[in-house]
Structure 1
Amino acid sequence: MANDGMILNFDISGDAFAPASKPASAFRGRWTERLKAKRSQQHRQQKKVPNSGSSERSSNSRPLKKTTSSKTDSANHVPVGPRTRANPEPALKRKRADDHFHTKPPAGADGTFVSSLWTGNPEAAAITPETQTVENAEPQAPSNAPLSDGSSTFTTLGLSPILAFHLTVKLSLKAPTAIQRSAIPELIAGDSDAFIQAETGSGKTLTYLLPIVDRIMRIDATSRKAGLFAIILAPTRELSRQIYNVLETLIHCKNGPHWIVPGQVTGGEKKKSEKARLRKGMNILVATPGRLLDHLENTKSLEVDKVRWLVLDEGDRLMELGFEEDIGKILDILNSRSKLENHAPSDDPMPKKRVTMLCSATMKTNVQKLGEISLKDATYIKAEKPDTDTEKTEDGGEKFTAPAQLRQSYLTIPAKLRLVGLNAVLQRAFIRSTAHPKVIVFFSCTDSVDFHYEVFTRKSPPTEEEKKISKKNPASKGEEKENKKTEAKPANAAATGIGHLLNSNPVIHKLHGSLPQPVRTATLASFTKCKTASVLFCTDVAARGLDLPNVDQVVQFDPPFSPDDHLHRIGRTARAGRDGRAVVFLLPGPEEGYVDAVLKKGIREGQLVRSDLEEVIRKGFGGDDKDKSAKKQREFEDKATEWHLRVERWVMDNPEIGQLAAKAWGSHIRAYTTHVSSEKAIFNHRGLHYGHLAKSFGLREKPTAIKVPNNEVGGGAAKGKAGKVGAAGAGKKRRLEAGDVGEVAGEEAIKKMRMMARAMEKKGGLSSEFNIG
């Protein structure tokens, strides 16, 4: 047939004239031959599947990758079928309508993928009108301030004119507080035991110190050899030191009782020097229970036969730290050695028997138990409040309330944004250069305190100009070394640094139980006396009883372990009638139940508000509120992302900091499992996203790849009050394995963490693990 130029528009495959293929199972022979035949048959079948692209292809174009699905994305011509061996590309995610809120995840310095701060975060509950932030809320009248109605003065309470003049003129206390007006006359005139209850910051220390000093002044004694008249027990060393300082200010007043000698014995000090002071004699002794019991049993020069007062300050804390047994032994020794009943003269202005005073801000079951052990026919003394301030519980009892002038708020913030959020809150706190605010930030464990202290005291990297100058002038490196030598701190110096990257460059202090006692004392004194802007990063070691002057704000970066800890933490501000603010960080989800379970209890109307996360971060990172364009409105996201990336690069470039971050991450997870049983549904470690939490510590690794360094439980020298490592298997090192904190915590990991928590509770009420005492 002649060629007529007709083109056949169909394709005949090369296998068209091949013999029909048999199924693989029909082949005979060795198994290798059957396998080859099976693969050949599959290959021919795949070639017959039509491509999903265009039907017209050039003769020199490469064939497309074979896929198991014929579906493609029409815009990008990318297969979107299921991810299989034949289709290695995952399914494309559809772009969100509000994708402008999220920035593109940047690449790390080493080319690794870095997750974005703004994607994959759980959503918090919607802000309702009654929970939104009220910036200009009307201030409440202070509930713990000195009385301003002129009804009472220190002289009318029965105190000597010398003490009253000293309080009014030298200490600038114009009038007593409500609890002082109720308790001081009773304690001066009576000899019965007393239970004193009042809210934090209301002057409980002066409430029991003033009657003791006033009555000792009346006796005819001019020597320290007159004997030991009063013992004051405090749960922590810091509180003991504070009580001792207040006592010294009362004694060293003009024409005052200079012959009265105060003393102090606490853990962490040398017992040899304490024994020397006890041999010389003292009249009022401030002590911690463990060290006092040690001296009562082993120091013969400590005579307690004339003790007329025993004060148990912060009774709930004494019980929580496991001092019940020690206090029982102390009471037995005092009872057995007392000689008051046989040698008490009738004209003696001192109590005829030993008076025990129990002071606490809360009325808990363990406090009542301590009262049953120590008190006999006690008088219950509380501050007289107007009927409008009295709130009742469901069973009709009186509810403990926070100071009325304290403004509380909570911030619902995803785990990845916690570090950024803390920076934003601190930047806002120090935005006014003329003021010198003080801020306390509470963490759950010592390793977390150490890590965040390093983050906020680090210096910014040198600029390009500074690098050029250092290269041109080699002598500058030598000067830097000399400066470092001169800046070297003595061993007992305070743990302080400068917040170079924060507004006003505040002085940053850190305080926790793993620090040596001289360093703890120096740090607390530095924060108290600091005249410039300052921050205190601490554990619950600073949560109870400490009167830190002029604290403007309390930040609970980690929620407290119990509701009472919350009340004591926020009690570090808004003291003695001053204004104060408190904010707590909560994760979206179950932790939002903490608002109804704890925060809304014991507050007045309008006292609790919810802060808007976006507004907090925008103001903290200097977002432009005037420019309403979408780009300017979201500029704060880029600033926050860049700030967090610098932290991550700093953690990666410094191996020691990387280990510290891993330790802090592991300790934080262990601490999360130690909340009281009533809050387990709110703080359940199964709901934690360990990967997002690791990012808040500047870590880029997957949780299963993070290696927590070997360390004693709690990080560092975590010692209990008996000097032993407080953990399961005392004295052994505990390593948090990667399997304990994987993406999904297994049953074995849960059992391990619960066993650790139970062991720590038995050893010392968690004080060993997280150094809160």
Structure 2
Amino acid sequence: MEHVTEGSWETLPVPLHPRVLGVLRDLGFPYMTPVQSAAIPLFLKNKDVAAEAVTGSGKTLAFVIPILEILLRREEKLKKSQVGAIIITPTRELAIQIDEVLSHFTRPFPQFSQILWIGGRNPGEDVARFKQQGGNIVVATPGRLEDMFRRKAEGLDLASCVKSLDVLVLDEADRLLDMGFEASINTILEFLPKQRRTGLFSATQTQEVESLVRAGLRNPVRVSVREKGVAASSTQKTPSRLENYYMVCKADEKFNQLVHFLRNRKQEKHLVFFSTCACVEYYGKALEALVKGTEVMCIHGKMKYKRDKIFTGFRGLQSGILVCTDVMARGIDIPEVDWVSQYDPPSNASAFVHRCGRTARIGHGGSALVFLLPMEESYVNFLAINQKCPLQEMSLQKSTADVLPRLRAMALADRAVFEKGMRAFVSHVQAYAKHECSLIFRLKDLDFAALARGFALLRMPKMPELRGKQFADFVPVDINTDTIPFKDKMREKQRQKLLEQQRKEKTENEGRRKFIKNKAWSKQKAKKKKKKKMNDKRKREEGSDIEDEDMEELLNDTRLLKKFKKGKITEEEFEKGLLTSGKKLVKAADSRIADL
């Protein structure tokens, strides 16, 4: 498709409703972005659209406005229980965000009801809300929407409600498939009418997305949009206003560098990405204690009920720090994020671009920084080639305070911090081992001692990856870590109760074993004598051909074979051993023949 530039809303071939234009002016969107200029006219001409555009380019309005316009133009008005449009998106945060944007446009049109179906909420309440207020426009995550189609027993026949469907939108389609929602999407498509408009929006085009295009869209118009000012030959995947940096530092210096970086930018808004939920829990707690004078929040995929509140709260802040996993990497639009810091590089290169895209959105500037270990520096060239994402180096910050002793002191004072640190370290190592770019991120080259110091651990955890290794450069604390108490008195009381129960059980078991042993010793000895007599008698009666000497030689042969299989002896030594054993057997046989 030819290059599309920004344009005025009034220049669209199909004029927008005056109230829609009014909302756009109120929200501060006087012009269309390229993806909006390309996709909206196609939607309004009843075309299926498969759009690919860089993150932060305004894709949400590119489908929200056409949905509203198509429903306004319906000849037969929608009833309360009829669904006219469905928007499917991979995460609940993105669904909340789309629902919020949509609400600005439906407010002037009370004839339309909208409903949000996402995980972490009571599905029974979702059913009751739909039956009470309806849902002409549904914004949902795939799992919850699929679940709603199966709730006929609760009086919801969603399959009948969607027969009036005009528009289906799959937002962040590549992520929908990456997160394993393909089966859910296919199930949902089976319930939907074939006569509909479908929009598929994605930041990256993958083979899986192409398969979904073929399955869900009829003769789609493909739109691939570049930002204004980007050359036609360019394949740049990050916003042009984004400044991308990297910093190389050792594993035991990285957290000090992060804290110093955040302390010097307290008045700005930050997203800090970690590789695992456990790392978010641990380092979020640490940053909360070490970076004073600014709000620190944490969000990750294992949170069930707090995520919505945290996400909404952070969006409303002027400045602050959100410590998060890749659950916040795609499609999320948090106003005016100044910095995206990647403490851990993501497991795949495309996620790197999406993380960076949380800043420098829709005309605003922004910066991103990734921390790399010295052995990971070649990742910079990899990103430049693989993702067309050039980075410039940021020098190590000087005069950084060493906050790791403070973090260790926190772990010594509170078992919750100690346990979070251990879990974080284990999860980080396991995630590192699964990195997509294993030629650069090599687990065998990782300095575990320096990494443990960087996590401010009190001792090394027991895990398969560390088995058999020595860590001379790591000095554990000189205390029994089992004695570290929880600061929370209720948790500590429960722990002590459990420890006392375990001690009691151990004492009882030891006493039982000792009692049985002392009582049964003489009986066991008598039993052994009795068993030996019976064996001797059976040998005499059956005329066993195997004498004690022969049995000993057979056992020796078995031992030799085991040693040979384990590589403890050579083939020559094995054969020599067998030969010696054979000679002994022959000699013993000759002796028995002579006796006869």
Instruction: Flag whether TM exceeds 0.5 (same fold).
Output: yes
CA 681–329 in structure 1, closer or farther in 2 if over 3 Å, else same: same
| Aligned counterpart in structure 1 of residue 377 of structure 2, from 558, 571, 592 | 592
For residue 689 of structure 1, report the CA deviation from its aligned partner: 1.1
Q: CA-to-partner distance for each residue in 1:308-328, whole Å, 9 max, x for gaps? A: 111111011011111111111
Aligned to 2:125: 273
Report the TM-score when normalising by structure 1. 0.57
User: 1: distance between equivalents of 2:175 and 2:470?
Assistant: 36
Structure 2 CA distance for aligned equivalents of residues 298 and 400 of structure 1: 45
* Uncovered stretches (5+) of structure 2, i.e. residues with no partner: 472-596
2:391 matches 1:608:
yes
Match of 1:549 among 331, 335, 349: 335
Q: What is the match of residue 640 of structure 1?
A: 401
Relative distance call for 1:232 and 1:740 in structure 2 (3 A) is farther
Q: Specify the SS of the correspondent of 2:9.
A: coil
The superposition leaves residues 384-405 of structure 1 with CA deviations (integer Å, 9 ceiling, x where unpaired) of 656852335xxxxxx2421111
Alpha-carbon shift at residue 530 of structure 1 (Å): 1.2
CA contact (8 A) 1:440 1:555 kept: yes
Q: Give the whole-Å Cα distance in 2 for the aligned partners of 1:244 and 1:555.
A: 27
> Does 2:83 match 1:322?
no
1:307 deviates by: 1.0
Q: After superposition, what is the alpha-carbon deviation per residue over 1:536-566, rounded to whole angstroms, capped at 9, x for unaligned? A: 0000011110110000000000001111101
The correspondence of residues 330-729 of structure 1 with structure 2, limited to 5 A, is 330-335=188-193, 353-383=195-225, 389-391=231-233, 399-430=235-266, 436-458=267-289, 499-500=291-292, 505-517=293-305, 519-531=306-318, 533-589=319-375, 591-599=376-384, 601-603=386-388, 608-613=391-396, 616=397, 618=398, 636=399, 640-641=401-402, 643-676=403-436, 679-701=437-459, 703=460, 706-707=461-462
**How far does residue 305 in structure 1 lie from its aligned partner after superposition?**
0.9
RMSD (Å) for aligned C-alpha atoms: 2.3
The percentage of aligned residue pairs carrying the same residue is 32
TM-score normalised over the length of structure 2? 0.74
Q: What is the alpha-carbon distance in structure 2 between the residues aligned to residue 178 and residue 278 of structure 1?
A: 36
**Following superposition of structure 1 onto structure 2, how do residues 197-236 of structure 1 map, counting pairs within 5 Å?**
197-219=52-74, 224-225=79-80, 227-236=82-91
1:450-471 residue CA offsets vs partner (Å, 9 max, x unmatched): 1111112227xxxxxxxxxxxx
In the alignment, the residues of structure 2 paired with residue 700 and residue 376 of structure 1 have an alpha-carbon distance, to the nearest angstrom, of 60
Aligned residues: 462
Provide the secondary structure at the position in 1 that maps to 2:252.
Answer: helix
**C-alpha contact 2:89 2:141 (8 A) present in aligned 1:** yes
Asked if 2 retains the 8 angstrom alpha-carbon contact of 1:217 and 1:257, the reply is no
Question: Relative to structure 1, is the Cα distance of residues 660 and 573 closer, same or farther in structure 2, using a 3 angstrom cutoff?
Answer: same
Alpha-carbon spacing, 1:608–1:644, altered in 2? closer, same or farther (3 Å): same
Distance 1:373 1:557 in 2: 39
Could you tell me whether the CA contact under 8 Å between 1:155 and 1:164 is conserved in 2?
no
Q: Within 1, Cα distance between the matches of 2:230 and 2:276?
A: 39
For residues 252-331 of structure 1, what are the structure 2 equivalents within 5 Å? Answer: 252=107, 256-280=108-132, 281-299=134-152, 300-302=156-158, 303-331=161-189
Equivalent residue for 2:16? 159
1:155, distance to aligned residue in structure 2 (A):
5.5
Q: Is the 8 A contact 2:299 2:307 kept in 1?
A: yes
Superposed displacement of residue 424, structure 1? 1.6
Q: Secondary structure of 2:263's match? A: helix
Which letter does structure 1 place at the counterpart of 2:163? D
Shift of the alpha carbon at 1:737? 5.1
Q: Match for residue 123 of structure 1?
A: none
- Aligned partner (choices 77, 93, 97) of residue 242 of structure 1: 97
Report if aligned partners of 2:81, 2:131 keep a CA contact under 8 Å in 1. no
Matches within 5 A, 1:33-72: none
- Quick one: distance in 1 between partners of 2:407 and 2:76? 63
Structure 1 residues 647 and 166, CA gap change in structure 2 (3 angstroms): same
Between 293-302 and 283-292, report the one with greater CA deviation.
Answer: 293-302
Distance 1:377 1:454, change over 3 A: same
Is residue 691–residue 743 contact of structure 1 (8 Å, CA) maintained in 2? no
Bigger proportion of residues as helix: 2
Give 4+ residue runs of structure 1 displaced > 3 Å after superposition: 144-147, 154-157, 219-224, 384-388, 599-604, 736-744
Distance verdict in 2 for CA 1:508–1:385, change over 3 Å: closer
Q: Deviations along 1:43-98, whole A, 9 cap, x unmatched?
A: xxxxxxxxxxxxxxxxxxxxxxxxxxxxxxxxxxxxxxxxxxxxxxxxxxxxxxxx
CA contact (8 A) 2:49 2:220 kept: yes
